[in-house]
Structure 1
Amino acid sequence: IEGRVAYKGPLGNLVYQLVGGLRSAMGYVGAADIAALKRDTRFVRITAAGLRESHPHDVTITREAPNYQIGG
């Protein structure tokens, strides 16, 4: 499959977001480094309905988070 994605700004912005997510995940599992994250992490599959339920809902959003999107 081949396609294009519209320009979304400098690559550094994306890398910054990815590093933030990685640090957050490491904090959740208590991993001090990447090796510990790889060794000690267990992934759990959830349904689409479970994913929707795991996020805030039934609230009025007053300001969208700059680093959070549902459905890309």
Structure 2
Amino acid sequence: MNSHRSAMDEVRMAAKLADLKDEHYRNTLALSTLIELLVDKGIVTREEVERKAAELDSFMAHLPYPKV
């Protein structure tokens, strides 16, 4: 098996990365839009969103992952 990537493999990889970046942007835009609408309608405050984000971030930072 050839361990070297061909130029076409590199192009495909770059295209996949571009697709992922575009999808990430669309997802981030959708989430930001939802948060803004919830805040604008008075359903949640920015502080509540920030507090919950910090809570979830803290939880995710302490998940026990198996050591390799």
Q: TM-score range by the shorter chain?
A: 0.3 to 0.5
Q: Work out which of the two has the higher radius of gyration on C-alpha atoms and give 1 or 2.
A: 2
Normalised to the residue count of structure 2, the TM-score between the two structures is 0.36
